[in-house]
Amino acid sequence: AQTVTQSQPEMSVQEAETVTLSCTYDTSESDYYLFWYKQPPSRQMILVIRQEAYKQQNATENRFSVNFQKAAKSFSLKISDSQLGDAAMYFCAYRYGAQKLVFGQGTRLTINP
């Protein structure tokens, strides 16, 4: 079964600095998708970024980018120029085809002013 592991339960960063959240996963598939979701204090789940496994280029959305290492089964999220509004729980997720999304346990990110 596919699993997703986030080894950092909590992270903190100074405002305006860069932080990287780690995620590893286990799968025997070759063509799948990976996602990062953000859950702010409102608890609304928001899609931050997604990556198709067949694409070698790392996905980027404004200040958010990923480092996708397919052979290592690693999918880290980099947040540049951290802002107070970035404070949230961040969940890494994996999906193969039409199967269910598999979530990691989450990383709580705190932004220090």
Partner 1 sequence: DGGITQSPKYLFRKEGQNVTLSCEQNLNHDAMYWYRQDPGQGLRLIYYSQIVNDFQKGDIAEGYSVSREKKESFPLTVTSAQKNPTAFYLCASSPYDFGQTYGYTFGSGTRLTVV
- Residues lying near partner 1 in the complex (CB under 8 A) are found at 32-33, 35, 37, 42-45, 47, 50, 52, 91, 93, 95-98, 100-101, 103-106, 108
Q: Closest distance between partner 1 and the C-beta of residue 103, in Å?
A: 5
User: In the complex with partner 1, which residue's Cβ is closer, 33 or 64?
Assistant: 33
d(Cα 19, Cα 10) in Å, to the nearest integer? 12
Q: Closest distance between partner 1 and the C-beta of residue 50, in Å?
A: 6
d(Cα 60, Cα 80) in Å, to the nearest integer? 11
- Chain-centroid distance of CA 57 in Å reads 16
In this structure, are residues 108 and 89 in contact, taking their beta carbons and an 8 Å threshold?
Answer: yes
User: In the complex with partner 1, which residue's Cβ is closer, 86 or 104?
Assistant: 104
Q: Closest distance between partner 1 and the C-beta of residue 79, in Å?
A: 19
In this structure, are residues 73 and 22 in contact, taking their beta carbons and an 8 Å threshold?
Answer: no
